[in-house]
């Protein structure tokens, strides 16, 4: 998969799991961790209730974290906040949790640490920023204290952090941000997905903050109030993921697109849509997109658009920006065979 960002031409960061030391033995040990963004193609929200989902790692939208042991203080340096970890704003609670949980897990409870985070990802836009930041931090902090985590340990720590961001994360984001292939996810387990590809996508940011925690809570409240209607929609979202899986393996782009449109409508009926997302999806469809849907928690954030080919994706991205998208990215999903 290759992503081009309309507003950011930075080269993706390198990935190092092992701690690095400078040229001299007295130079500090720096642990490094990386992760990427994600876009959910099918199954957001339904996945929380055990239905399957499909997500795509956005490999060129990267997060890189560096961690360095300190005697006492725990400090965070990032574009969103710089200062004591104990005083992070609420919206960075998962970032602080990722550091604290990893320090405990590697037996460094009594130590300090300095964590530096750089991210290509917009925060609170449904493209996996919180999970990717946590994933990069978990890897970096463990490495700084001489530990290389296995995938299960790393996933467990990312999920602890994710619970601070929203209470009942399915694990889909945590799995996808550390994957380099499309993910089929259900009931906590992730599997690689067969894609005949290529498929060209656009991601368009509405500029409206997505609110995953509230969106997940709203679906739960609606399900409590009207279980039959909500279950019917969640079942259909799960079925769309299954049908989407078959269409990806063919690939049948039109069949994927038509299901993306249906998923967008169902998510709106579940109360997680937003007029800005409907507007962007409408612009994309008028421009000949094969399908368009909100991606991630919703109530803001991004739409994922399926274009006919890479040139069409570039054209749509341009159109969407001209007509109000805060940013766009294009991505090519290559075949896995």
Task: Count Cβ atoms below 10 Å from residue 334 Cβ, excluding itself.
Answer: 12
Annotate each residue in 119-148 with x if it binds ligand MEV (CB under 6 A) or - if it does not, as one string.
Answer: -------x----------------------
Task: Give 45 or 264: the residue with its C-beta nearer to ligand MEV.
Answer: 45
Q: Is 44 in the site for ligand MEV (CB under 6 A)?
A: yes
Region binding ligand MEV by CB under 6 A among candidate stretches 43-51, 114-122, 236-244, 258-266: 43-51
Within residues 227-286, the interface with ligand MEV by CB under 6 A covers none
Q: Is 48 in the site for ligand MEV (CB under 6 A)?
A: yes
Taking the complex as a whole, the smallest distance from the CB of residue 203 to ligand MEV amounts, in Å, to: 13
217 pairs with which residues across the strands? none
173, 205, 262, 274: residue in contact with ligand MEV (rule CB under 6 A)? 173
Instruction: Give me the count of residues in the chain.
Output: 337
Q: Whole-angstrom Cα distance, residue 62 to residue 121?
A: 7
Task: Give 70 or 222: the residue with its C-beta nearer to ligand MEV.
Answer: 222
5, 297, 305, 327: residue in contact with ligand MEV (rule CB under 6 A)? 297
Residue nearest to ligand MEV (CB): 170
Taking the complex as a whole, the smallest distance from the CB of residue 174 to ligand MEV amounts, in Å, to: 9
Phi-psi region of 43 (alpha: psi -120 to 50; beta: other; left: phi over 0): left
Region binding ligand MEV by CB under 6 A among candidate stretches 5-13, 57-65, 110-118, 164-172: 164-172
Taking the complex as a whole, the smallest distance from the CB of residue 51 to ligand MEV amounts, in Å, to: 10
Positive or negative, the CA dihedral 134, 135, 136, 142 is positive
Task: Give 66 or 274: the residue with its C-beta nearer to ligand MEV.
Answer: 274
Q: Is 65 in the site for ligand MEV (CB under 6 A)?
A: no
Q: Is 47 in the site for ligand MEV (CB under 6 A)?
A: yes
Distances (CA, A) of 161 to 100, 113, 173: 9, 17, 12
Size of the site for ligand MEV (CB under 6 A): 14
Q: Is 301 in the site for ligand MEV (CB under 6 A)?
A: no
Task: Give 45 or 116: the residue with its C-beta nearer to ligand MEV.
Answer: 45
Q: Is 216 in the site for ligand MEV (CB under 6 A)?
A: yes
Taking the complex as a whole, the smallest distance from the CB of residue 44 to ligand MEV amounts, in Å, to: 4
Q: Whole-angstrom Cα distance, residue 297 to residue 246?
A: 24
Q: Is 45 in the site for ligand MEV (CB under 6 A)?
A: yes
Long-range contacts of 158-162 (CB under 8 A, 24+ apart): 158/98, 158/131, 158/134, 160/97, 160/98, 160/101, 161/94, 161/95, 161/97, 161/98, 161/101, 161/130, 161/134, 161/137, 162/94, 162/130, 162/131, 162/134
Region binding ligand MEV by CB under 6 A among candidate stretches 83-91, 142-150, 165-173, 221-229: 165-173
**Is residue 215 a contact partner of residue 167, using CB atoms and an 8 Å limit?**
no
**Is residue 37 a contact partner of residue 129, using CB atoms and an 8 Å limit?**
yes
Taking the complex as a whole, the smallest distance from the CB of residue 63 to ligand MEV amounts, in Å, to: 15
134, 212, 328, 330: residue in contact with ligand MEV (rule CB under 6 A)? 212
What phi and psi values does residue 333 have, to the nearest 5 degrees? -95, 110
Rounded to the nearest 10 degrees, the angle between the axes of helix 212-225 and helix 227-249 is 120
Q: Is 172 in the site for ligand MEV (CB under 6 A)?
A: yes
Residues lying near ligand MEV in the complex (CB under 6 A): 40, 44-45, 47-48, 126, 169-170, 172-173, 212, 216, 296-297
């Amino acid at each position: 998969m290759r992503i081009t960002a309309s507003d950011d031409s930075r080269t993706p960061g390198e990935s190092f799991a092992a701690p690095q030391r400078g040229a001299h033995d007295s130079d500090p040990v720096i642990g490094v961790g990386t992760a990427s963004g994600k876009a959910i193609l099918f199954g957001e929200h339904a996945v929380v209730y055990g239905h399957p989902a499909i997500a795509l790692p956005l490999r060129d939208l990267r997060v890189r974290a560096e961690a360095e042991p300190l005697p006492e203080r725990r400090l965070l340096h990032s574009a969103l906040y710089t200062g004591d970890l104990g005083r992070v704003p609420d919206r960075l609670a998962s970032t602080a949790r990722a550091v604290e949980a990893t320090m405990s897990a590697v037996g460094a409870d009594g130590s300090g640490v300095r964590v530096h985070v750089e991210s290509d990802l917009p925060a609170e836009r449904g493209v996996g920023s919180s999970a990717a930041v946590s994933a990069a931090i978990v890897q970096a902090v463990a490495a700084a204290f001489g530990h290389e985590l296995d995938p299960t340990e790393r996933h467990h720590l990312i999920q602890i952090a994710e619970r601070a961001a929203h209470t009942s994360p399915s694990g889909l984001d945590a799995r996808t941000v550390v994957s380099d292939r499309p993910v089929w996810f259900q009931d906590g387990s992730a599997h690689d997905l067969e894609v005949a590809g290529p498929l060209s996508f656009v991601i368009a940011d509405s500029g409206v903050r997505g609110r995953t925690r509230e969106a997940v809570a709203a679906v739960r409240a609606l399900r409590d109030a009207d279980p039959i209607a909500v279950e019917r929609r969640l079942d259909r979202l799960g079925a769309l993921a299954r049908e989407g899986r078959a269409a990806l393996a063919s690939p049948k782009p039109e069949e994927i697109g038509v299901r993306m449109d249906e998923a967008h409508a169902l998510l709106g009926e579940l109360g997680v849509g937003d007029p800005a997302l409907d507007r962007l999806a409408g612009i994309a469809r008028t421009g000949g997109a094969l399908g368009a849907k909100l991606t991630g928690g919703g109530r803001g954030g991004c739409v994922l658009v399926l274009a006919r080919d890479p040139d069409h994706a570039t054209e749509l991205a341009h159109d969407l920006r001209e007509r109000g998208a805060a940013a766009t990215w294009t991505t090519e999903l290559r075949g896995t065979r």
